[in-house]
Amino acid sequence: MMRSMNRAELLSEIRRLPFAGRVELLEELCNETEHPGLLEWQKVLLDQRLKDAEAHSEDWVSWDEAKQRLEWQLHDHWMKLRLRSQKL
Tens digits of per-residue pLDDT, 15-74? 999 999 999 998 888 887 777 788 999 999 999 999 998 999 888 888 899 999 999 999
CA separation for the pair 88, 84 (Å, rounded) = 7
Helix or strand (DSSP H, E) at 43: helix 40-55
Confidence (pLDDT) at 9: 92
Decide if 36 contacts 29 (C-beta within 8 A).
Answer: no
Q: Which residues contact 59 (CB under 8 A, 6 or more apart)?
A: 53
Inter-residue contact 14 to 22 (CB < 8 Å): yes
Q: pTM for this one? A: 0.39
Give me the pLDDT at residue 8, please: 92
pLDDT for res 30: 82
Q: In the prediction, which pLDDT does 66 show?
A: 93
pLDDT at res. 1: 63
Which residues contact residue 20 at a Cβ distance below 8 angstroms, ignoring those fewer than 6 apart?
none
Eight-state DSSP code of residue 56: T
